[in-house]
Structure 1
Amino acid sequence: MLDSQIIMEYQNKVLAGERLGENELRVLINISDLRTLSDAANKITRKFQGNKVDVEQLANIKKNYCSEDCVFCGQSAFFNTGIDSYQLLPAEEILKMAKKAKDEGAESYCLVAAWREPSEADFLKVCNIISQIRDKVGISIECSLGFLTTPQAKKLKELGVKRYNHNLETARSKFPQICTTHTYQDRLDTLHIARSAGLELCTGGIIGMGETREQRLELISDLAKLEPEEVTINLLVAIPGTPLELQTPIPFEEILRVFAVTRFALPKSIIKISGGREVHLEDSGEELLLSGANGIISAGYLTLGGNAMNKDLEMIKKIKLETNA
C-alpha cells in the first residue's frame, strides 16, 4: 500500500473517532510522505480544534538553582550556566505581568517555579498570587510547580486553577540519561494526583536531546494513555554549561513527524509548540500550526526570550488562523 493510502486510512479512522494503536503510530512516524502526513494532521486539527490557536504566556515566578539534575536545564544547581536568579516574585509584580498578558491577547497564564516541589510557605504564597490573579485579572490560570501532594492539588482546584503542567520530558527508556534525582514514575504520579483532584493536565516533553525516533514514539504513546487536555512539545535549546550544550539540533523533518503523529494520537488535545520555537523554526511555527499543532507560548520562556506577542499574532493571522485577541 502507498504511503498516501496508509495515511488516508489512518486519518479516516481518527476522524471517525477511533484511536490508533502504537503499531499504527509507528507506521506513521516512519512514513516517507511528509507532505501528506502534514496535510492529514491539519485536517484532524481542523475537525476537532477548529481554526483557533491557543496562545499562552507564562511567568517564571521563581528563577533559582533547582535541586534536580535534568541535563537540559539552565536552572539546575548541578551546572554552571551563569543565569540570573531570584526567589519567589512579589504578588504585585506577577499580577502586573498577568494583566499585561491578558491585555495582549493571551488565552491563559501559567505560573512556573524552579524547584523540586513547593515548601508549605511558598505554596501558600503561590495560592495568594493565584487568588489575586483570579479576582483582579480574570485570565485562565495554569500552574507548573513541580511535584504535588493530593491536598495541594485539591487546593489549586479549589482556587480555580484550570490546568496543571508537569512534563514527562522524554521517553521512559531515555529518562535515566536525562535525570537521576527523580524518576519517570515520579512524574507520572504527580500527573495522576493532579487528575484525581479534578485539574486538567498539560504534559509533554523536549525533543532533540539525543533520543531515537522510536523513543519519540514511546513518549507520544505514553502521552496518549494520559489523554491530557494539552500537550507541550519543546525543541531543545542547548544551553552553555549544561551536559547537552553541544547537542546537534534535530532536523525539521523530525520535528514535523512528532507534531503530526501526536495529532493522530491525540486529536482532541491542544498541541502547543513551546520552548525553542523561535530558535529552531525559521517561520516561528507557521508550518507546524498547519501540521497538527494548534497552540504556542508567546513572549518568552523560563530562561529564554521569545517573540513579541504582536509578532506572533500577526504570524497566526498570516496563515489564516484565529486567536482570542
Structure 2
Amino acid sequence: MTEVRYNWTKEEIAEIYHRPLLDLVYEAATVHRENKDYSEVQISSLISIKTGGCPEDCAYCPQAARYNTGVDVHAIMPKEEVIAVAQKAKDGGASRLCMGAAWREVRDNRDFDKVIEMVKAVNALDMEVCCTLGMLNEDQAQRLADAGLYAYNHNLDTSEEDYKRIITTRTYDERLKTLEHVRKAKITVCSGGIIGLGETVEDRISMLKTLSNLPKHPESVPINALVPVQGTPLADQPRVSVWDMVRMIATTRIIMPKTVVRLSAGRTEMSVVEQAFCFMAGANSIFAGEKLLTTPNPSFDSDMAMFALLGLKPRKAFKNGRPGKVENVEETVSL
C-alpha cells in the first residue's frame, strides 16, 4: 500500500510531474487501484445560491463586480428552490450538493442564517452538503459543522508565489487560515487549484507541495482548467492542454494517494476519450449538471452515458460516515 506522506519536496513532485506521460499515467493508475475502488466516481452538483457582485478581484472570475461579464447579480436563493435543485441533482445521480455564494467572506447576518437552514434541508434529503462561501472564522465554521455541513471548498487557485498576480484583495495566508478553521470544526476539506491562468509549471508544483504538506491532506483536491470569460483579465488566455490536466491529476493522485481528485471546470471542452485518460490518471470525482456556478458543464444524461461506456459507477453518499465522525476515517471522503 502506498505510503501517505506530508513532506514532499518541490524537486520530488517535479520529478513525478515530468515523467514520460504513459509511465506517469500507469503509476498513478496503480496507486489509484491500491487505494480506491477505481471504477467508483463521486458525482457532485454545484449551484450558485448567491450570484455576482463579489468585491474580490480574482482575475478569472465572471462574478467579480469590477468586471463587465454579463453575469446578472442575484440575491440569495430561497430555500425551497435550493431543495428542488438538490432533489433534481439527486435524481440525476449526484450524491453531493455544493452551494456557492459570491462573497469575499461570510458575515454573521440573515443571509448566513439562510445558508445554515439550507444545509439542514439538503441534509434531510440524505445528500452530502458542501459550501463555498469565501473566508470563514472559527465560529462560522463551527456553526456550519453543527448544521451538518459535510465539506467546505476553498481553493488555493495557484502557487503562493503567483497568487498576487491573480488576486490582490486577499492573501494566501488568509486562504490557508480558512482551511485551518474548517479542519478544526471537523468539516472535510476541499481545496485545489486552476491551471491555465498563465502560471508556470513550477507554480503548479508549488501549489501541490502546499496542499500535500498540510497537516492532513484535503479530502478532495479539485483540478480545474480555466474557462476564459470575456470581460475578465484572463479572457484571452489560451485553453490549457488536456495533457497538462492529465499530468496534474496523475501527480496529485501519486502524492496524495488517499485523496479524492476531482476533474472539475473545463470538462465541456474534453472528449470522452480525454476524460477517460483523466479517470485512468486517478480522477474519481466530477461535477454533473448543466452549470458550474455560471459556466457551462456537461449534463447528467451525457455523463451517465459516459459512465456506462467506461464501466464507471456513481459513489453513494456518506460512504465514510456522517459529519462529526470523519475524524476517524483516513482521508477517503470525496467531493
Calculate the TM-score normalised by the size of structure 2. Answer: 0.89
Matching residue of 1:163: 151
For residues 232-290 of structure 1, the C-alpha deviation after alignment (integer angstroms, 9 at most, x for no partner) is 11100110000101111222222211111011111001100111111255646221011
Whether 1:179 and 2:179 are equivalent positions in the alignment is no
**Which of 29, 45, 48 is matched with 2:17 structurally?**
29
Distance 2:274 2:145 in 1: 33
Gaps of 5+ in 2: 317-335
CA distance in 1 between partners of 2:205 and 2:17 (Å): 7
The alpha-carbon deviation at position 118 of structure 1 amounts to 2.6
Residues 1:52 and 1:282: Cα distance change in structure 2 (over 3 Å):
closer
**Distance (Å, rounded) in 2 between the aligned partners of 1:305 and 1:264:** 30
Q: How does 1:13-28 map to 2 (within 5 A)?
A: 15-17=1-3, 19=5, 21-22=8-9, 23-28=11-16
Once residues 13 and 105 of structure 2 are traced to their aligned partners in structure 1, the CA distance between those partners, rounded to angstroms, is 34
Conservation of the 8 A alpha-carbon contact between 1:278 and 1:284: no
Return the match for 2:27 from 29, 40, 44: 40
Contact 1:277–1:284 (Cα < 8 Å) also in 2: no
Partner of 2:320: none
1:295 paired residue number: 285
1:59·1:110 contact (CA, 8 Å) conserved in 2? yes
Q: Please state if 1:286 is matched with 2:276.
A: yes
Conservation of the 8 A alpha-carbon contact between 1:237 and 1:279 = no
Letter in 2 for 1:91: K
Letter in 1 for 2:28: A
> CA–CA distance in 2 between the matches of 1:161 and 1:281?
34
SS in 2 for 1:233: strand
Aligned to 2:110: 121
1:195 counterpart = 2:183: yes
* 3-state secondary structure, aligned to 1:217: helix
* 2:297 equivalent in structure 1: 306
Query: Does the C-alpha gap of structure 1 residues 16 and 132 become closer, same or farther in structure 2, counting only changes over 3 Å?
Result: closer
Identity %: 35
RMSD: 1.4
Match of 2:89 in 1: 101
Q: Which amino acid aligns with 2:192?
A: G
Aligned residue in 2 for 1:234? 224
Secondary structure (helix, strand or coil) at the match of 2:231 reads: coil
* Partner residue, 2:307: 316
Distance 2:198 2:270 in 1: 16
Conserved 8 A contact 1:235-1:280: no
Q: 244-253 vs 57-66, which deviates more?
A: 244-253
1:16 shift after superposition: 3.6
Question: Which amino acid is the alignment partner of residue 53 of structure 1?
Answer: V
Gaps of 5+ in 1: 1-14
- Residue from 265, 268, 275 that aligns with 2:258: 268
Distance 2:241 2:18 in 1: 14
What is the DSSP-based 3-state SS (H/G/I as helix, E as strand, rest coil) of the residue aligned with 1:272? strand
- Name the counterpart of 1:84: 72
Residue 11 (structure 1) aligns with: none
Report the residue type matching 1:287 in the other structure: F
- CA distance in structure 1 between the aligned counterparts of 2:49 and 2:235, rounded to whole angstroms: 25
CA distance in 2, matches of 1:252, 1:28: 18
Q: Which residue of 2 is the match for residue 111 of structure 1?
A: 99
Q: Which amino acid aligns with 1:188?
A: L
Residue identity in the other structure for 1:243:
P
Q: Which amino acid in 2 is paired with 1:145?
A: L
Higher helix share: 1
Provide the rounded CA distance (Å) in 1 between the counterparts of 2:218 and 2:4. 17
TM-score by length of 1: 0.92
Contact conserved, 1:45 with 1:294, CA < 8 A, in 2?
Answer: no
